[in-house]
Structure 1
Amino acid sequence: MKLHHLNLTVTDVAASRAFLEKYFGMECVSSRGNGFVAMFDDDRFVLTLMKGTNVQYPETFHIGFPQENEEQVNMIHLRLKEDGFEVESPQYSHGYTFYVEAPGGFTVEVLC
């Protein structure tokens, strides 16, 4: 059995969508106004974003985008940093990884 769908409630659907498209290559396949979008990754995993006003995820909640190697992790890290996101340098823990707070109120992990 395979997980195929995840919904995130976000404070800003458009900003979250743009972030996921720009840095992680997700593709918007459906939208309804400013309150809902459905996105696909390369494997056609469905991520939906729905507008909410009081978005509070648990401290350790995050979604992850695994990369093939450290070079790809470093490239995404550099792009985010150059675009003004506050990101700590990648570290070795359960892999080579870093976290970033995405627009809309959720955390993303980039790792290999």
Structure 2
Amino acid sequence: MKINHLNLTVTDVPAARKFLEIYFGLTGGTDRGKGFDVVFDDGGFVLTLMRGREVHYPKTFHIGFSQENEEQVDKINQQLKEDGFDVNPPVHSHGYTFYVEAPGGFTVEVLC
């Protein structure tokens, strides 16, 4: 059995959707309104985004996007930097990884 659906509460649904589309290739967002949207990955995973006035995830909460190799991790890291996101360079720890604070109030890990 695999997980195939997750809901995130975010402070800015359109900004969170755009971020996920640009950097991680999620598709299907239809701008259903300021309070709700749905995006999909190429494997059929369903991610719903629902607006909340305040978002308080635990400090260690994050979602992750695994990449095939270090070059892909570096490419995403560089693109985020060029677009003005505050990201540290990837490091080798439990994989080759870095974290970024996404628009809407949640953290994303990029790793291989």
TM-score by length of 1: 0.97
Cα distance in 1 for residues equivalent to 2:82 and 2:59: 26
Aligned-pair CA distance for 1:33: 1.1
1:53 and 2:39 correspond: no
| Gapped regions of structure 2 (runs ≥ 5) | none
In the other structure, the counterpart of 1:37 is 37
Query: Where do 1:43-82 residues align within 5 Å?
Result: 43-82=43-82
Cα distance in 2 for residues equivalent to 1:56 and 1:71: 33
In the other structure, the counterpart of 1:103 is 103
Cα distance in 2 for residues equivalent to 1:99 and 1:108: 6
Matched length: 112
Cα distance in 2 for residues equivalent to 1:97 and 1:2: 23
* Amino acid in structure 2 at the alignment position of 1:67: Q
Moved over 6 A (4+): none
More strand, by proportion: 1
Superposition RMSD in Å: 0.9
* Amino acid in structure 1 at the alignment position of 2:26: M
- Identity level (%): 70
In the other structure, the counterpart of 1:25 is 25
1:86 and 2:48 correspond: no
| Gapped regions of structure 1 (runs ≥ 5) | none
Q: Is residue 13–residue 104 contact of structure 1 (8 Å, CA) maintained in 2?
A: yes
Q: Please list the CA deviations of residues 14-62 of structure 1 after superposition, one character each: whole Å capped at 9, or x if unmatched.
A: 0000000000000025553111111100101000000000101000000
* Amino acid in structure 1 at the alignment position of 2:45: F
TM-score by length of 2: 0.97
* Amino acid in structure 1 at the alignment position of 2:6: L
Q: Is residue 17–residue 28 contact of structure 1 (8 Å, CA) maintained in 2?
A: no
